């Protein structure tokens, strides 16, 4: 087996646990991140930044709303936005509710997003070429299914 197995027996009743799903996910996630970032690097974008870009638009959007859609920690997003604001891709403003920090893309940000989308298409096609299109489709479905069963931990619902 190619991936290191994290499971040591431990005498206990019932079925043995399967090899560590989390380790495989982490490892595959790392490799695919590198894979996609090869295509985004020419644009000076990290994968996280790209994912923020594609979830932003011209319409102002509150930070928490964006964080929820990205399923990213609010405070992580705050800090991830800083370099994007400095580079003029994103603007932050305040509306009638002065608590909300409203975020939107600048024209530069919109243009970058389009270029980045083009690169993403190349990356995804390339990934499908490596994995096989049918396999990629199946994998997507399994990931989808797993996501449906493992709900995000929502601090707001506890």
Partner DNA sequence: GTCATTTACGTGCATACGCACTTTATAGCA
Partner DNA sequence: TGCTATAAAGTGCGTATGCACGTAAATGAC
Interface residues with a second copy (CB under 8 A)? Answer: 1-4, 6-8, 10, 12, 15, 17-36, 47, 51, 54-55, 69, 71, 117-118, 120-121, 123-125, 127-128, 130-133, 135-140, 142-153
Q: Which does 42 bind (CB under 5 to 8 A by kind): a second copy, DNA, none?
A: none
Q: Side-chain half-sphere of 61: how many Cα atoms within 13 Å?
A: 19
Residues facing residue 104 across a β-bridge: 91
Q: Which of 36, 80, 119, 120 binds DNA (CB under 7 A)?
A: 80
Give the span between the Cα atoms of 111 and 88, in whole angstroms: 11
Give the span between the Cα atoms of 93 and 107, in whole angstroms: 15
CA dihedral 120, 121, 125, 128 (to 10 degrees): 60
Q: Which of 48, 104, 126, 136 binds DNA (CB under 7 A)?
A: 48
Binding site for DNA (CB under 7 A): 26, 30, 33-34, 46-49, 62-65, 72-76, 78-80, 82-83, 92, 96-102, 155
């Amino acid at each position: 087996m190619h991936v290191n197995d994290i499971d040591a027996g431990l005498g206990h009743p019932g079925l043995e646990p399967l090899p560590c799903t989390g380790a495989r996910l982490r490892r595959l996630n790392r490799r695919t991140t590198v894979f996609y970032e090869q295509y985004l690097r020419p644009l000076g974008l990290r994968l996280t930044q790209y994912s923020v870009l594609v979830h932003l638009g011209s319409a102002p959007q509150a930070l928490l709303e964006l964080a929820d859609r990205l399923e990213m920690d609010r405070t992580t997003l705050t800090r991830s936005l800083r370099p994007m604001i400095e580079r003029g891709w994103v603007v932050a403003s305040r509306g009638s509710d002065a608590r909300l920090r409203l975020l939107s893309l600048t024209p530069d940000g919109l243009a970058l997003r389009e270029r980045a989308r083009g690169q993403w298409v190349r990356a995804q096609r390339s990934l499908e070429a490596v994995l096989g299109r049918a396999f990629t489709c199946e994998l997507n479905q399994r990931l989808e299914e797993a996501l449906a069963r493992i709900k995000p931990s929502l601090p707001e619902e506890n």
